[in-house]
């Protein structure tokens, strides 16, 4: 109390007022600082809550989009498989229907050209190596021959294309893409693997004719072949006729013409 009276005598009521004002400013500033701090914390919490809520909504939307895209992709894959399976079945059924038509066409071609065998070789791939590169193969898929002539179709199945490499090169380099072999000894020397694989009464063969078969994209898909076991002379007319017949058979065999959009 004495200290207050002494302060009052020394500084007067103005000093006390200034001291009170300073105290009010100090405590008021402290209160305001705490208030702002509380408001800021509350504001940041609300901002954080809003950001969290917004991120959650965005994540939900993103998840829905991803799930939707996966569903569409899965539906697309499944639909494609269904379409491919349906197309495969339709092509297989068509293949069965045209088999007799092709056999009859081969019979007529063989008789027209006085051959002892008419057959079709198709190129395809079967399996692959460890790098995933498919193996090129060839098979005799259709055949007609005279009675007493051995069947080639059961023996010439999924053989390495390398056996036909020289024949294919000769055909591609020949006039009209038709190659006629009349020297069977030379043929055997130049195509020893093929000759060995097909050997069975081949000693009777006097001539072999190969005509290239192309699809509409100009891709070589096989060969139309004639085999002779009798002497025969090939005329320009014979070669032209065989070219037409080969093109007609190709259009029947290559069912992708029908199923390509």
Decide: 137 and 126 in contact? Cβ < 8 Å: yes
pLDDT bracket for residue 260 (50, 70, 90): very low
> Tens digits of per-residue pLDDT, 34-59?
655 555 556 555 655 666 666 666 66
pLDDT at 180: 94
Which residues neighbour 227 within 8 Å (Cβ) at sequence distance 6 or greater? 115, 116, 117, 118, 119, 145, 205, 207, 208, 209
185, pLDDT greater than 50: yes
Q: What is the mean predicted confidence (pLDDT) over 197-216? A: 79
Q: How far apart are CA 106 and CA 103, in angstroms?
A: 5
pLDDT at 230: 87
pLDDT bracket for residue 257 (50, 70, 90): very low
pTM: 0.64
> Tens digits of per-residue pLDDT, 119-161?
999 998 877 777 777 888 999 999 999 988 888 888 888 888 8
DSSP string, 182-210: --HHHHHHH-HHHHHHH-SSGGG--EEEE
């Amino acid at each position: 109390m004495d200290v207050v009276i002494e302060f009052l005598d020394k500084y007067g009521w103005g000093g006390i007022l200034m001291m009170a004002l300073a105290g009010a400013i100090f405590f008021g500033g402290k209160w305001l600082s705490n208030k702002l701090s509380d408001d800021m914390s509350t504001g940041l919490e609300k901002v954080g809550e809003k950001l969290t809520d917004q991120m959650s909504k965005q994540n939900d939307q993103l998840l829905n989009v991803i799930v939707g895209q996966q569903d569409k992709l899965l539906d697309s894959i499944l639909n494609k498989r269904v379409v491919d399976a349906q197309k495969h079945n339709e092509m297989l059924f068509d293949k069965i229907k045209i088999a007799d038509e092709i056999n009859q066409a081969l019979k007529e071609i063989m008789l027209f050209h006085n051959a002892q065998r008419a057959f079709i070789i198709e190129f395809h791939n079967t399996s692959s190596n460890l790098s995933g590169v498919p193996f090129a193969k060839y098979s005799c898929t259709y055949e007609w021959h005279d009675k007493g002539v051995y069947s080639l179709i059961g023996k010439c199945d999924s053989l390495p294309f390398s056996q036909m490499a020289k024949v294919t090169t000769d055909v591609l380099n020949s006039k009209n893409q038709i190659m006629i072999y009349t020297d069977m000894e030379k043929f055997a020397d130049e195509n020893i693997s093929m000759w060995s694989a097909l050997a069975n009464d081949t000693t009777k063969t006097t001539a072999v004719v190969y005509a290239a078969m192309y699809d509409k994209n100009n891709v070589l898909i096989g060969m139309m072949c004639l085999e002779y076991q009798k002497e025969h002379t090939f005329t320009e007319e014979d070669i032209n006729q065989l070219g037409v017949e080969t093109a007609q058979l190709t259009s029947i065999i290559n069912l992708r013409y029908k199923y390509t959009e």
